[in-house]
Amino acid sequence: MGIINILDTQTANMIAAGEVVDRPASALKELIENSVDAGATSICIEIKGGGRGFMRITDNGSGFARDDMPKALLRHATSKIKTGSDLDGVMTLGFRGEALAAISSVSRIEIISRRKEDELGTRLTGDENGIVMEDTGCPSGTTVIIRDLFYNLPARHKFLKRDSAEAAAAAAVTERIALSHPEIAFSFTSEGEKKFFTVGDGNLLSAIYSVYGRGLANGLKEINYEIDGVSARGFVTTPDNARGSRSLQIFFVNGRFVRSKTVMAALEEAFRSYLPHGKYPAGIINITLNVKNTDVNVHPAKLEIKFTDERKIFDAVYYAVKNMLTQPEHMPPKESEKQHNHTNPVYIHPSPPKNSEGNVIGYEVFKPDTGEEDLPVINLTTDSTMILKSPLTELTPEEKKAYKDSKPTETVLFAEEKSYRIIGEAYNAYIFAELDDKILVIDKHAAHERVLYEELTDKKQVVAQQLLEGITVTLPREQSDILSANLEYLGQYGFVAEPFGADTLIIRAVPSVLSNTENIESLFEAFAAKLSEGNALSFTERVDRALFTVACKAAMKAGQKNHSVHNEWLVERLLTGGDIRYCPHGRPVIKILSKREIERFFDR
Ligand SMILES: Nc1ncnc2c1ncn2[C@@H]1O[C@H](COP(=O)(O)OP(=O)(O)O)[C@@H](O)[C@H]1O
Ligand SMILES: [Mg+2]
């Protein structure tokens, strides 16, 4: 006698349920999505016991035909597709026909539903004893009640968190669907307490306001861009409102919440020169494109998506965000527009840090607390052979290939070998260099500003250069107080100072990139002034702003003559230092003229 059993449907469904519903929040997600697919304009959600004990989803959508109700509990039963080829253009959130089968196999389910055209509604109850149906009076639409989720899977309970954590996960799922459908009114109640509701007026910002509150909503700016049939719309934080984690990066594709590394990379790449390490933009971004260019059938919970052309998605998001950031009101103020009384320090010699010197002190760079993250940090700078690198380092090989194939070829700027040659400088502002088959035109000030900024903020190690003689600075009381209270912290950035009587500090060391700058005193004063500005910002953000100012002030000035040695140092730094394309203000640093372009111009 053989030993293989064919499992009965109930057991098979229970096994399959593990994939679709692993916790109350994932069951809730499926049920709310069904209401959305049913064309509801209002969806009320109520849960108890974190959703494990009780979940009720009430919608005013199409309702079930009576005959369909028991069918809907069967596996692979769906009204949304008929054949495999329909998968190609699926517009609804559901299509797998699995959710109700899975959920009903691991809970006690009740569905009360009526179509508008039917006089009487139907109540279906399903549990371990089977299915019972009866007529009932009810409003048009559908109510699904789930009780005792996982009652017959005791092992599953071990993996569930406390009720409060499960309730939070259920709220998060509801929030995302509410944001992806601002035209639907949602309300979410847990343990009898109404947690949030949206009005369903179709306005995304008002939905964000309802879900996340004024604090986030006020720090957002609209983005809107379309390229090659792909549009990216939504709201993104301005640099001032960046956050300590990625938890509020929320992406939708054609109204479906997805996790997408491409979208994340595009968002963060656009912010690259605007934010220090450990800060992340937040944003609610809705991407729309022809559904034929997507594949949502790659993940049981449909949380992932494939695009036929990742590059287009990247570009749409990147430019949408970049356009917002480069609008004048979001650009950090230009140095010339700032008010200060002291004269600019004259740039003397941009020397690289010298580690081997006896009087050099090494400091670990300070890393701000990045908080909780649900996605791994993408390291955007692993490949040192490229300057204009693909930010998509965490994509799968296929995704990378799709991206590479569509990528213009001339983006690789530099390889390890020192293969460039400086041709000269024009207007004391632009350095011309030849590299392989390209001519690089480098904006001297912008490039130096960025190199300094990177050195001051971005390095694994900040080197503090001891000054031969301490420099005393007397500051307004407010500024000296802030500095005195944070001396240890600032030391981690290479600024070493000690109190020296009332309102006066003595500077012992500065970051070594600044050590040859003339007039360190005025640079330090500008640093202190910037640190005490912007009460709404965290201290880390203010330090970043202050370093930004320091980089700008210490950088070579356009129109000012420099020794060729300095230009050489700068070009070397720029071309070997990694991914530098924009100055900290977001303006480009390098213009590339290809040999082909030049030859074409001369009709060669
Ligand atoms: N709230 C609802 N209102 C109307 N019909 C529903 C609702 N929920 C489910 N249905 C019907 O039940 C079917 C099965 O649902 P489900 O198991 O979630 O599979 P899917 O959503 O993938 O089609 C759906 O295709 C739909 O016809
Ligand atoms: Mg469904």
Is CATH 3.40.50.2020 the right assignment for the domain spanning 358-364+385-594? no
Nearest ligand to residue 96 Cα: 1
The predicted pLDDT at position 69 comes to 93
Sequence-distant (6+) residues with CB within 8 A of 498 are 487, 505, 506, 508
Q: Which of 63, 57, 66, 6 is nearest to 32 (CA)?
A: 57
The tens digit of pLDDT for each residue in 366-413 reads 222 333 333 222 222 222 222 222 233 334 455 445 434 433 333 334
Cβ neighbourhood burial of 368 (10 Å; 0-12, 13-18, 19+): middle
Ligand 1 centre to CA of 271 (Å) is: 41
Q: Is the CB of residue 77 below 6 angstroms from any atom belonging to ligand 1? A: yes
**Fold agreement between 9-198 and 219-330:** no
Q: Is the CB of residue 170 below 6 angstroms from any atom belonging to ligand 1? A: no
Is CATH 3.40.50.150 the right assignment for the domain spanning 219-330? no
Ligand 2 centre to CA of 293 (Å) is: 22
Q: Which residues pair with 412 in a beta bridge?
A: none
The tens digit of pLDDT for each residue in 553-580 reads 888 888 888 778 888 888 888 887 665 6
| Minimal-distance CA residue to ligand 1 atom 21 | 94
> How far is 74 from 83, CA to CA, in rounded Å?
17
Q: Is the CB of residue 237 below 6 angstroms from any atom belonging to ligand 1? A: no
The answer to whether residue 346 scores a pLDDT higher than 60 is: no
Computed over every residue of the chain, the mean pLDDT equals 79
Question: Are residues 91 and 288 in contact, defined by beta-carbon separation less than 8 angstroms?
Answer: no
Question: Are residues 516 and 348 in contact, defined by beta-carbon separation less than 8 angstroms?
Answer: yes
User: What does the radius of gyration of the chain's CA atoms come to, in whole angstroms?
Assistant: 30
The tens digit of pLDDT for each residue in 433-486 reads 988 888 999 999 988 888 888 888 754 567 778 887 888 888 888 888 888 888
Q: Which helix (H) or strand (E) holds 526?
A: helix 520-531
Is residue 546 classed as helix, strand or coil in its secondary structure? helix
Write down the CATH number for the domain with range 9-198. Answer: 3.30.565.10
SS3 string, 241-252, reads HCECCCCCEEEE
Is residue 90 classed as helix, strand or coil in its secondary structure? coil
Q: Is the CB of residue 94 below 6 angstroms from any atom belonging to ligand 1? A: yes
Name residue 457's amino acid.
T
Token output for 284: 């609610």
Nearest ligand to residue 36 Cα: 1
Q: Which of 528, 518, 503 is nearest to 467 (CA)?
A: 518
Q: Is the CB of residue 28 below 6 angstroms from any atom belonging to ligand 1? A: no
Alpha helices in 54-194 (DSSP H): 68-72, 99-105, 154-159, 163-180
The residue ranges of every structural domain in the chain are: 9-198, 219-330, 358-364+385-594
The predicted pLDDT at position 579 comes to 58
The tens digit of pLDDT for each residue in 306-344 reads 888 888 888 899 999 988 888 765 444 333 333 333 222
Question: Are residues 93 and 255 in contact, defined by beta-carbon separation less than 8 angstroms?
Answer: yes
With bands split at pLDDT 50, 70 and 90, how would you rate the model's confidence at 519? confident
